[in-house]
Structure formats: structure tokens, C-alpha cells
A and B are shown apart, each in its own frame.
Chain A
Amino acid sequence: MPKGNKKINRRDFIKYSGIAGAALTLSGIAGAGYFAGKDKSTHTGWGKGAYGENQDFNRTPFRVNNPTYKKAGKPVRIGYLENIFNRNGELYRLMHPRDGSNPKWSLQQGVDDLPGDLKKFYKKHPGRLDEFKKAYRRGRQQKKNWEKYKDQYLLADAWSAAHSSPMRGREAFPAEPQDAPEKSDFKGINTKPCQLKSPGHGSRLMKKIAHTFGATLVGIAPVKEEWLYQGYLRGVGKTRYEKPPHWKHAIVVGIPHEWESLYANPVYGTSYDAYSMLNFIAGKLEVFLKHIGYAARSHVPPTDYDLVMPPLAIDAGLGEQGRNGILITPELGANTRLAAVTTNMPLENDKPIDIGIKEFCEKCKICAEQCPSGAISFDKQPPQVIRGYRRWEINQEKCFTIWNTVATSHPRGCRVCLAVCPYSRKNNWIHKLAKQMDAYDPTGAFSSAMLAMQKQFFDYPGAQEYLPPPDGSNAVYQEPPDWLKTEEWFDL
């Protein structure tokens, strides 16, 4: 073969190999993308956060002096009955007295037959008592329906029961305070605290410790009087009280729900997986703080709080409040559950952040569109001033009616608004990139483009579909994992 031809052949060989190489590279990159999507280590679960590496959003450029909640009047502390679980508890106790005596109120009666504070509350909020009655009746139906569904959702129900079990009864951890904070928060301290190098050292230490206990997110906030409940204090009962002087700081911790079950809400998910974990984390922080000589009180879900969590977490710089009424964080989105420990340990507070979540919520409304109860507002701007702050409010009663309607064994929640939120996506490169770029874009153009894609490209079942037949089809947001599907393991 002539020398010239050989040269041409080698050149051609490289030329065509380059094309083959490009095809191979693109296939490799497509494959890498596919496996990045499948990768379970990017689930926003709590498995790999022992040293805080999941708190990976750089908050520094977004720190602000004023939190993103908008003051619009004189702040008022949340009343005991403003929490739905407290007022429902009071109604249940009237209907089913613990001492077995005759019911003091029934569904056939009205608001005028209720005692003092309850009557005042429901008079002020017309329609809510009727919604309670509806929820109660739906609850009875739910029990009957369960016969039909109990095999199909057996594993999901068992998974939820397993998670809720450590929180029940006398053996629950952390133990319910038995005294006023001035006593109970100091109980168990048998050492004087060593000289702390600085409050900054205190914060860094407690954040590291909280991460080792399993917290995904940790922030430190000052304890403001306005976030305290009024009218009820754990360990004391119904009472009027001021902020205890030793509640100087709150260590606020956040963790997500297990990701696959979150996506399969409402019927396959549970709140208790995150709740039980938070009980352990906050309870352990309380023990740790007391052990090094500081007063501590944990505030944990589902209802053992003396403080309202979302604004406290906003002050701690963890995130911002969303349209769905809950905290949205850059790492976990709406899939963020909270607990806190109040303490007198000298700590350095974090500053709140502003990454434009409120502005995104003004445009988005996906949670409102998907909410089966219609409890989430569609208003662009929050129309109400609630206890001195302008914010969106969810209709708790309507939400609770859905808890009593979906195909679960008992009202154990819905969480669709957590799952469908665009901020709750997996922590893989594409969603992380989108969240970062959105935060750094002051024009809002990027978020509008992302939102348009979110609404056009992504599939949502539709609000009514989450309900059992005949109103819906027991739809879930995404397919459940095999480990929650009874039919994968048992003959039905």
C-alpha cells in the first residue's frame, strides 16, 4: 500500500473514531444521568447526615437581618385552642369523658352548648365546628372502609405503627415535663458548666452534636416571646405565663421524611417516621445539655411544644414559610419536620435567610391545586393578618377532614402538600442546580421558567384522586416502593 494512503487511513481512522467517541461519550453521560436519578443516596432521607454534610446549601450570601415573615400589627402569642389538636382534644373529651360519665356534648348540639373558651373560639370562627362534625363522621366511615383496604395497605400501616410506638405512653422519650420550666429544665443537672470559650464555640459544638444525633439541619435562634403558646405550659397545665428567663436560645433541628414513602402519600406515608426521629434527637440534646451543666427543655412533635416551630426555624435561618403553611428549606424543601431545645447555654444565634421562597410561592400554587381538602389558599398575596403577621393560613379543619377520609386505619395525615412541592425534589445534581440558580437569580425569570416546566412536564394525579372511591381512586403522588406494597410479599 502506498505511504500516502496509509497516512489518509490513519487520519480517517481518527476522524471516524472521534464520531464514535462522541456517540459513546453522550451515551455514557446519558447513562450517568439515569443512574444519578435512580441513586438512593440522593433521596432526602436521613441516612447519611451524621456529620451535617446534608446541610449543604451555602446560606451565607442569603443571610438577612429581618426574617421574611411580614409584621402587620401587634404580635399575639398563639392561644391553646388555636392548635387544632388541642381544640379537637377538648371536644373529644366532652363527647367521651375519661371518667366514663355521660357525654357533655354531642354532634347533634351546637356552638351555644359548648363550655366557655371553646364556645368563644367557635363563635369567632364560624364554620369550623361544622367541619369538625364532618371530620368526625368521616372518621367513622374511615374505620368501616379500613376493612376493605387493610390487606392492601397492611405494610404501610405497620410501618407507621412501628414508628409511632416509641412516642406512646409513660415510656416515651423524651419524658413529658412534670414541672414548670424553672424546675424541670434544671432537673438532672449535677455539674457546673465549664467556662465556654465563646458563644460561637457553643453554637458550633451543639450543631456538631445535633448532627451526630441524626439532625439533617440545625440552626440557633433567640427565643422570642411571640412564638410561645399562651394559656398552657407543659408541666403546669392551663396557666398564664411569661417567657422563662433561662429560655435564651433555641437549638432548632430539622429532618426529612423517608423519601420513597413521602412520595407515596397520602396512604403509604406517615408523619411518625420523622416525628419519632425528632423525639430522639431533641431528647438526646436535652440530656447532653444537662450533662454539661445547662438547663434544657425539648419541644417535640406531634404536640409536645411550648413554642411554635416554623417561625422559630425561620429565625434560626433554616428556611422560609411556604404557601402550605410549613417551613421550606433549600435542602429538604417542604419535606422538613422540626423540633427544638430551649436552653440557657451561651450560644451565637444564626441569622434568617431570604432565598425568595415567598416570591416563588406567589407564582407556584401547586400545593393548593393538589390539596384534596381545598385547605390551602390560592391568593397571590396572603390576605390575612394572623396574630400580627401577614401570611398564608391553611384551613386546619378542612385538612383534618381529609386525614379522616383517606384510606388509612385512622387519621394519620395526608402530606400531599409536602410531596408535591417543587422544593421537595430529590437531592440530585439537576434539582440542586435548579435550586441554586433560582436562589441567585434576582429577576425571578429562572424560577418562572422552572415553574412552567414543572407544571407542563410533571404529572400530578389531581386533588380529588387521592380520596377513596367513589370520590377518588386512592391515588398516590408517586408509585410506592416495593417494601410498602403488601402484594409484593404476600398473597392477597
Chain B
Amino acid sequence: MFIQPVFWIIIGMLGLLMITSAKYWLSDLNIVMKWWKWLLAGAWFVLLSLSLAGGMTLIGEGEQQAGLYFLGFSLLIILLLGVGLWRLLARKKKDTNQ
């Protein structure tokens, strides 16, 4: 579809904006980032995106019930992972303050 390349260009630009914005947020919160922290944060965001896309794909193909369950179940897990990840990122901040 002709719109596809445009879609991915826009997503790429938004991704760049998100990374720049994240850098500012993290430095303002005194969180020191290491390469593996970026990797974990990136993996978490990819997981979140895949879960959203997966649930919506099921809804799109007419499996509403499966799609909603999938979204609820996977978003709950991702939320828990997100809390864990945030604590991991923020721990460094405490270490730095000590």
C-alpha cells in the first residue's frame, strides 16, 4: 500500500523525538543511563508495541474476544514489567545520590 512507507517514516521521526525527549526527562530526574538500561527500556517499549499491535490484529480479524483478552493480559504483564524496569532505572539515581 502506498501509505506504508509514509507510515514508517512518520513512526521513525516520532521515535527520534521520543528518544530525545527521554534523554531530557531522564537527565532532569537525575537518572544515569547505561547502554544496557537503554536496551532494556527499548525492549520494554517494543514489547508494549507488539502487545498493542497483536491485540488489535486479533480484533481486526474479527476475534474481538480474543483480542480484548490478549490486550488485557499482556498489558497487565507489561505494566508489571514497567514498574520493575522503572525501579531498576531509578535505583541508579539513589546510588548516585549516596
Residue B14 at the chain A interface, CB threshold 8 Å: yes
- Whether A458 pairs with B21 at a CB distance below 8 angstroms is no
Tell me the residues in window 46-89 of chain B with beta carbons closer than 8 Å to chain A beta carbons.
Answer: 48-49, 52-63, 65-67, 69-70, 73
- Whether B62 pairs with A21 at a CB distance below 8 angstroms is no
Q: Which of B48, B61, B70 has the most CB of A within 10 A?
A: B61
Residue B42 at the chain A interface, CB threshold 8 Å: no
Residue B22 at the chain A interface, CB threshold 8 Å: yes
Chain A contacts for B61, CB-based, 8 A: 37-38, 426, 428
- Whether A15 pairs with B25 at a CB distance below 8 angstroms is yes
Residue A445 at the chain B interface, CB threshold 8 Å: no
Chain A contacts for B17, CB-based, 8 A: 14, 17-18, 21
Chain B contacts for A33, CB-based, 8 A: 52-57, 60
Contact A18-B25, Cβ < 8 Å, known A37-B60, A457-B66, A479-B62 = yes
The 4 A-B pairs of least Cβ separation, nearest first, read A18-B21, A37-B60, A33-B53, A33-B56
Residue A430 at the chain B interface, CB threshold 8 Å: yes
Tell me the residues in window 12-30 of chain A with beta carbons closer than 8 Å to chain B beta carbons.
Answer: 14-19, 21-22, 24-26, 28-30
How far, in whole Å, are A31 and B56 apart by their CA atoms in the complex? 7
- Nearest A-chain residue to B25, judged by Cβ: A15
CB A304 to nearest CB in B, in angstroms, measures: 35
Chain A contacts for B48, CB-based, 8 A: 26
Q: Which of B22, B49, B58, B62 has the most CB of A within 10 A?
A: B58
Known: A33-B54, A457-B63, A457-B69. 7 other contacts (CB 8 A): A21-B15, A29-B11, A33-B53, A34-B60, A37-B59, A430-B58, A457-B70
Chain A contacts for B15, CB-based, 8 A: 21, 25
Partner of A34, one of B19, B49, B59: B59
- Whether A458 pairs with B24 at a CB distance below 8 angstroms is no
Residue B20 at the chain A interface, CB threshold 8 Å: yes
- Whether B57 pairs with A37 at a CB distance below 8 angstroms is yes
How far, in whole Å, are A430 and B22 apart by their CA atoms in the complex? 29
| Chain A interface helix/strand/loop/mixed | helix
CB A39 to nearest CB in B, in angstroms, measures: 8
- Whether B57 pairs with A430 at a CB distance below 8 angstroms is yes
Chain B contacts for A489, CB-based, 8 A: none
How far, in whole Å, are A430 and B74 apart by their CA atoms in the complex? 14
Residue B10 at the chain A interface, CB threshold 8 Å: yes
CB A7 to nearest CB in B, in angstroms, measures: 12
Residue A36 at the chain B interface, CB threshold 8 Å: yes
CB B22 to nearest CB in A, in angstroms, measures: 6
- Whether A28 pairs with B57 at a CB distance below 8 angstroms is no
- Whether B58 pairs with A37 at a CB distance below 8 angstroms is yes
Residue A238 at the chain B interface, CB threshold 8 Å: no
Chain B contacts for A34, CB-based, 8 A: 56-57, 59-60
Residue B40 at the chain A interface, CB threshold 8 Å: no
What are 16 pairs between A and B in contact, CB < 8 Å? Answer: A26-B48, A29-B11, A29-B53, A30-B52, A30-B56, A33-B53, A33-B60, A36-B53, A36-B57, A37-B56, A37-B59, A430-B54, A458-B65, A459-B63, A478-B62, A479-B62
CB B3 to nearest CB in A, in angstroms, measures: 10
Residue A456 at the chain B interface, CB threshold 8 Å: yes
Residue A194 at the chain B interface, CB threshold 8 Å: no
- Nearest B-chain residue to A453, judged by Cβ: B70
Chain A contacts for B19, CB-based, 8 A: 18
Residue A32 at the chain B interface, CB threshold 8 Å: yes
Residue positions of A touching B, CB distance < 8 A: 11, 14-19, 21-22, 24-26, 28-39, 426, 428-430, 453, 456-459, 478-479
- Whether A14 pairs with B21 at a CB distance below 8 angstroms is yes
How far, in whole Å, are A11 and B69 apart by their CA atoms in the complex? 39
Residue B7 at the chain A interface, CB threshold 8 Å: yes
CB A84 to nearest CB in B, in angstroms, measures: 33
How far, in whole Å, are A15 and B20 apart by their CA atoms in the complex? 8
How far, in whole Å, are A17 and B22 apart by their CA atoms in the complex? 10
- Whether B60 pairs with A24 at a CB distance below 8 angstroms is no
How far, in whole Å, are A35 and B57 apart by their CA atoms in the complex? 7
- Whether A17 pairs with B21 at a CB distance below 8 angstroms is yes
Chain A contacts for B62, CB-based, 8 A: 37, 478-479
Q: Which of B25, B53, B59, B67 has the most CB of A within 10 A?
A: B53
Chain B contacts for A37, CB-based, 8 A: 56-62, 67
Q: Which of B18, B59, B67 has the most CB of A within 10 A?
A: B18
CB B41 to nearest CB in A, in angstroms, measures: 12
- Whether B65 pairs with A459 at a CB distance below 8 angstroms is yes
Chain A contacts for B55, CB-based, 8 A: 30, 33
How far, in whole Å, are A25 and B56 apart by their CA atoms in the complex? 14
CB B73 to nearest CB in A, in angstroms, measures: 8
How far, in whole Å, are A139 and B70 apart by their CA atoms in the complex? 42
- Whether B24 pairs with A26 at a CB distance below 8 angstroms is no
Partner of B60, one of A11, A14, A16, A35: A35
How far, in whole Å, are A31 and B55 apart by their CA atoms in the complex? 11
- Whether B63 pairs with A26 at a CB distance below 8 angstroms is no
- Whether B65 pairs with A28 at a CB distance below 8 angstroms is no
Chain A contacts for B70, CB-based, 8 A: 453, 457
Partner of A25, one of B11, B59, B69: B11
- Nearest B-chain residue to A428, judged by Cβ: B57
